[in-house]
Each structure stands twice: as structure tokens, then as C-alpha cells.
């Protein structure tokens, strides 16, 4: 079993939306069974899952203080991938998730505030000794600011070669527990998510499987 954590100290970076989309795309592409875990007290990922009609991915309620034990239980049930959403400001919770993650996906919007905020998250990931991947999220189509953001983030670590653009279908899909790939499989948004998952999967495959 592998664990993908989504983390960012900056609120509004799009962690929950990407967590949901990565989990569904992983399941769709045959990387399942997949379970999602929501460690954010706001419960946005939980709310999304509760409105979802499909039975996959699974939802796992965990006690953050016993996270490793609960993950071991999921592994014993045959779960192959766990996707964990984290809160933006609860450092202890984020560190607990980082301690069990194999890969940490850090979404960042192409804005000066978001780019400045990544340093603290990067420091925590490096302290935990985990593989990190940045992804530019919520970029405006046909602008150059995303390319500038990639150059800034590349100074801190690897950046996914896929940019997720700001489109209304992301918000629309999350309302009723779906993803853009389920809402419109032929959309540009769906293709971006599929490409992002393919890249994240290659990063996960470089990690030694959890014992």
C-alpha cells in the first residue's frame, strides 16, 4: 500500500479538490482499491464523499493520533492506495500525515502569496524525508504566469509537468460528489487530471512499498 498526502500551509490552494480527483482517477485507472482520508476539521472531502453516488473510492475515518495503526488496518483489508487531505494551518496534523506519506503533492496557485507560502510546507516535507511534487493549480488559461510559477517552484523541488487550469467544471463536479472526468470525460479538465495522475503514479512507483 502507498500513501499520497496533499499538503499546503496556504488555504484555498485546492488540496481537497485534487485529493478527490486523484483518488477517483487512481481507482479508474486500476490502481485501487483506493481509500480517502480527511484530516481537515472543515470536512470538505468528507462532505464531497457523502454526496457521491459511486461506491469507490472508499472513505476511511481515522483518528489522527493513531494514523499509522489505522493505515495498517486498511492495508490488511487490501487497500492499495490511500489519499489523505490535510488542513491548511494545523501543523501537528500535517506532520502526522507527512510521517506516513510516501509522496506529498503540494498544490500552489500561481500567485505571489501562494508561492511565498510553500517554503514552510517544503521545510516540513524535507524534515520528514519524503518525496514532494508541486502542481500548479487554478491557473488562468492562456496566461504566462503559470510558467513563471513553475520556475519559482522548481527552486524548491520537482514540479509536475501538468498545469491544472481554473475552470467551472471543477466546482460543478464537486457539488454532487463527482469529478471532472465523470462529469465530462472528454473535457480539457479531465485530461489534465488524467495526466497529473499518470505523473504522480510514476513518483509513487519510485517509493519502496510500505512494510
Give all domains of the chain, ordered by start, each with its CATH number: 2-205 (3.40.50.300)
Q: What pLDDT score was predicted for residue 112?
A: 86
The DSSP secondary structure of 144-172, one letter per residue, reads SHHHHHHHHHTTTS-B-S--EE--HHHHH
Asked whether the beta carbons of 158 and 133 are under 8 A apart, the reply is yes
Asked whether the beta carbons of 210 and 3 are under 8 A apart, the reply is yes
Distance between CA atoms of residues 70 and 183, nearest Å:
32
133: nearest Cα among 162, 99, 98, 106: 106
Strands, E assignment, the chain:
2-6, 34-38, 58-59, 81-85, 103-108, 131-139, 164-165
Q: What pLDDT score was predicted for residue 117?
A: 84
- The enclosing H or E element of 189 equals helix 188-205
C-alpha grid cell, residue 125: 516535507
Model confidence pLDDT, tens digit, residues 61-92: 999 999 999 999 999 999 999 999 999 988 99
Distance between CA atoms of residues 25 and 78, nearest Å:
18
Distance between CA atoms of residues 137 and 8, nearest Å:
12
Q: What pLDDT score was predicted for residue 130?
A: 96
The CA distances from residue 3 to 16, 18, 151, in Å, are 15, 15, 27
Task: Rounding to the nearest 10 degrees, give the CA dihedral for residues 128, 68, 9, 165.
Answer: 100
Q: What pLDDT score was predicted for residue 27?
A: 97
Q: What pLDDT score was predicted for residue 11?
A: 87
Q: What pLDDT score was predicted for residue 70?
A: 97
Q: What pLDDT score was predicted for residue 209?
A: 58
Mean per-residue pLDDT pooled into runs of 10, the chain (211 residues): 95 95 97 97 96 96 94 97 94 96 96 88 95 95 86 93 96 95 97 98 84 48
3-state secondary structure of 34: strand
Distance between CA atoms of residues 75 and 211, nearest Å:
10
Amino acid at each position: 500500500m502507498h500513501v499520497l498526502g496533499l499538503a499546503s500551509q496556504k488555504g484555498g490552494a485546492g488540496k481537497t479538490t485534487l485529493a478527490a480527483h486523484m483518488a477517483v482517477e487512481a481507482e479508474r485507472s486500476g490502481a485501487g482499491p483506493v481509500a480517502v482520508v480527511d484530516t481537515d476539521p472543515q470536512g470538505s472531502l468528507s462532505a464531497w464523499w457523502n454526496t457521491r453516488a459511486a461506491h469507490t473510492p472508499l472513505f476511511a475515518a481515522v483518528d489522527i493520533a493513531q494514523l499509522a495503526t489505522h493505515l495498517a488496518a486498511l492495508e490488511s483489508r487490501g487497500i492499495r492506495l490511500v489519499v489523505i487531505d490535510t488542513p491548511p494551518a494545523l501543523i501537528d496534523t500535517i506532520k502526522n500525515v507527512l510521517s506516513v506519506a510516501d509522496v506529498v503533492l503540494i498544490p500552489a496557485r500561481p500567485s505571489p502569496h501562494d508561492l511565498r507560502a510553500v517554503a514552510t510546507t517544503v521545510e516540513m516535507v524535507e524534515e520528514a524525508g519524503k518525496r514532494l511534487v508541486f502542481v500548479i493549480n487554478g491557473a488562468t488559461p492562456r496566461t504566462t504566469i503559470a510558467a513563471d510559477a513553475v520556475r519559482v517552484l522548481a527552486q524548491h523541488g520537482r514540479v509536475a509537468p501538468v498545469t491544472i487550469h481554473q475552470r467551472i467544471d471543477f466546482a460543478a463536479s464537486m457539488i454532487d460528489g463527482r469529478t471532472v472526468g465523470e462529469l465530462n470525460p472528454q473535457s480539457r479538465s479531465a485530461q489534465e487530471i488524467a495526466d497529473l495522475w499518470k505523473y504522480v503514479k510514476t513518483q509513487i512507483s519510485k517509493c519502496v512499498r510500505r512494510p
